Structure 1
Amino acid sequence: MLNNYVGSEIGQLRRVMLHRPNLSLKHLTPSNCQELLFDDVLSVERAGQEHDIFSATLRNENVEVLLLTDLLTQTLEISEAKEWLLTTQVSDFRLGPSFALDIRGWLRTMANRELARILTGGLTYSEVPAGFSNMVVDTHSPTDFIMKPLPNHLFTRDTSCWIYNGVSINPMAKEARRRETNNLRAIYRWHPLFAGQDFIKYFGDETLNYDHATLEGGDVLVIGRGCVLIGMSERTTPQGVEFLAQSLFKHHQAKQVIALELPKHRSCMHLDTVMTHVDINKFSVYPEVVKKENACWSLTPNGTGGLTTTEEPHFLKAIEKALDIDHIELITTGGDVFEAEREQWNDANNVLAVRPGVVIGYERNTFTNEKYDKAGITVLPIPGDELGRGRGGARCMSCPLQRDDI
């Protein structure tokens, strides 16, 4: 069995977790998509076909692909895991004690795969047995959600991220995504691939209110050689960065965290939407956001369990020093100013390296893909006309579980 370990952004990718969306997209409508953090509704069938091509592209590169619904189904076969998930996701406080008891009892009778679909895809009042009647039921319409769908599970990168010998199970910034974390907590605690394995849980494994200490995996780049680059975006706070850094140092899994401040707006909701590592000395960047004047700090252990925080004059110099390379080559988003803005919005910078110099990206970003090619980076193109409307590319849609060092 492969050990779960992620030593870089660009080393050979060996195992990855994806989520093929279905029920959650069927529950996505023009009236609720904004609340669920989507800009538009997606064609369910077409999005699934595009996702299948993404999975096949990875498998063709000898990457083992694990699907979240499969992992969750297998986790639910363990009675303790099922009870924990039902109690957590269908709590008395969410539904009231009498209705919650009814719903949990009904869900226990389901096949595990159907229950896994509901835990990711959502459940409406119209879908429960007609005999359930109480104040909670009577004060809701049939199309109201008992459990809201989790369409952002598509972006498996965010909810948990592996960093060297451990995983951060991330406290999500937005209410619409917080229940995702419980599904991952259950998988990492009980699924046979993870239960009893020797790995570290850095941050976020307990059901706590982390308040302002939020963190999402799209902001975390494991650039290798003991260093982690983290963007402080609209979703990841300095408080979250400090908690993760402190845990990394406590477990001797990193020697330095570089924290880069980003604008707090949706077009660059995570660092990887504007910057990714594509080869040992090459990064893709959107220069309208990633600028030399962006504030940057270096966090290192202070020797007594705390942090030493030093402001860096230039984040690229800090990365060069951390990776022990002379010069970083930046591949900027392609086209003129209008084309570059369009392609960044369509995730031209959000590519997933399968090995040094070989990345998966959306075929629609022709100007940027041409620049990758000229810089010696091979792009394995996948369609993204539907998937890309969720505002996430190949890196967002993948959670590496096993990747080599550089």
Structure 2
Amino acid sequence: MSAPTPGVYSEVGPLRTVLVCEPGLAHERLTPANANQLLFDEIVWVEQAQADHRQFVGEMQALDIEVLELKDLLTDVVADPAGRSWLLDRKLIEDLVGVPARDELRAWLDDLPARDLAERLIAGILFDEVPPGDGADYLAALARLEVPQFVLPPLPNTLFMRDSTSWLYGGVTLNPMHSAVRRHETLLVTAVYEHHPRFAGSDHQVWFGEREGRVTGHAMAAVEGGDLFPVGDGLVLIGLGERSSVQGATQVARNLFAAGAAERVILAGLPNVRSAMHLDTVFTFADRDVVTAFTPVTDHIQTLSLRPGARDGELDARADTAPFIETLSNAMGTQLRVIPTGGDGMAAQREQWDDASNLLALRPGLVVAYDRNTQTNAALRAAGIDVIEIPAGELGRGRGGGRCMTCPIVRDA
């Protein structure tokens, strides 16, 4: 039986296929000295994080959700000479590895077994891991100078698969990401969509981003998946804050409208702070008409609605006068019930920081949440939402919950 056609048509419809990336060698390379630069607040106990992630995956598989693993898909891609060549041509760019190291790295990586190469593309490469050869004197000299530690930097944020690419209805965004340390994540997933047999024949549309995989040194027009919500019935919600810009969001809207894939895009303004780096850190769906929200932020969100303009490529942009939840309720044609992040003022702040509002809906009324957010989970259950709890201690150290760790590939309306 052929695989289902990729497409995500809601936030809460039954989840059929999802893409994840288990913690691994990239996380072993987090240190107190580099963790902040790599967007982690703390170093990770990797073995426990792997066990907890496997529990998370097992909960989804127990519901017959197909779980795809990025390392497995990348292994298949680079096992094929054409896929390996496409990816390494775009990965080993001078802006990332410098000039003398590029050819030496290419010769070595071209000969690596597929699984080893897939692992290293995520985990990065230390200078002293490159075997001697042409250019080895240069790499050794850099190592002695202690600049920089990695000839290829690690990508530990691949754990948070939501951000690099996002399926919206029948197409995908290949997201130019805000932080330079994350932009090569998008390249890896793009290689999967373009060269893995599972996706290569799907003829999917690209709403935004570089189908050719070009990685730029800047991203004024940044978009990340934590801010992208295919609400359903032609409605899309996009957060604007630390990680996603109006320049990127308006291009996504224009391209969705041009294809008739969406009728309205609501832009939601966020404070530019790490605790609200994406919209899904303060707001997610738990059911068709139930959302969880960190109200100290969501009560102050201002929105702007985009619709197709009078001429092709134009946008009709109008400020919404109603509060955020009311605007969204009216657009959906249903009154949303809000479950605030649990506890008093301080408890709510603590649980929001620990991703209490970053729920992954597996089907209407069934969500995955971190176990440490006891008060929010109790409030969800009191409202009739079934909650599957997973351990938070290690997986949450990069600030991301169940929604962050998953890229839905197939989800029903």
TM-score range, shorter chain: over 0.9
Matches of 2:276 and 2:65, distance apart in 1:
28
What residue is the counterpart of 1:382 in the other structure? 390
Mind listing any 5+ residue stretches in structure 1 that lack a counterpart? Answer: none
What residue is the counterpart of 1:343 in the other structure? 351
Q: How does 1:4-403 map to 2 (within 5 A)?
A: 4-131=6-133, 132-141=135-144, 144-205=149-210, 206=212, 207=214, 209=216, 211-291=219-299, 293-304=300-311, 305-314=313-322, 315-325=324-334, 327-403=335-411
Matches of 2:369 and 2:202, distance apart in 1:
32
- AA of the residue aligned to 2:233: R
Q: Could you tell me whether the CA contact under 8 Å between 1:96 and 1:136 is conserved in 2?
A: no
- AA of the residue aligned to 1:319: L
- AA of the residue aligned to 1:175: A
SS at match of 1:259: strand
Specify whether residues 138 and 364 from structure 1 end up closer, same or farther in structure 2 by C-alpha distance, changes over 3 A only: same
Matches of 1:393 and 1:211, distance apart in 2:
25
Deviation at 1:95, TM superposition (A): 3.1
Matches of 2:94 and 2:137, distance apart in 1:
14
Runs of 4+ in 1 over 6 A off after TM superposition: none
SS at match of 1:105: helix
Question: Residue deviations 1:14-36, cap 9 Å, x none?
Answer: 00000001011011100000000
**TM-score relative to the length of structure 1:** 0.97
Q: Could you tell me whether the CA contact under 8 Å between 2:97 and 2:152 is conserved in 1?
A: no
- AA of the residue aligned to 1:303: A
SS at match of 2:247: helix
Mind listing any 5+ residue stretches in structure 2 that lack a counterpart? Answer: none
SS at match of 1:49: helix
Question: Residue deviations 1:250-273, cap 9 Å, x none?
Answer: 111110100000000000100001
Q: Could you tell me whether the CA contact under 8 Å between 1:99 and 1:134 is conserved in 2?
A: no
Q: Could you tell me whether the CA contact under 8 Å between 1:234 and 1:270 is conserved in 2?
A: yes
**TM-score relative to the length of structure 2:** 0.95
Q: Once the two structures are aligned, what percentage of the paired residues are identical?
A: 41
Question: Residue deviations 1:102-158, cap 9 Å, x none?
Answer: 111111111111101100011000111134424354123478101111000000000
Matches of 2:51 and 2:194, distance apart in 1:
31
Deviation at 1:61, TM superposition (A): 1.4
- AA of the residue aligned to 1:138: A
Cα RMSD after superposing both structures: 1.4
Matches of 2:411 and 2:159, distance apart in 1:
20
Question: Residue deviations 1:360-393, cap 9 Å, x none?
Answer: 0111110000000011111011111110111000
Matches of 1:159 and 1:96, distance apart in 2:
24
Deviation at 1:93, TM superposition (A): 4.2
Matches of 2:215 and 2:346, distance apart in 1:
43
Matches of 1:242 and 1:362, distance apart in 2:
33
Specify whether residues 147 and 160 from structure 1 end up closer, same or farther in structure 2 by C-alpha distance, changes over 3 A only: same
Q: Could you tell me whether the CA contact under 8 Å between 2:187 and 2:215 is conserved in 1?
A: no
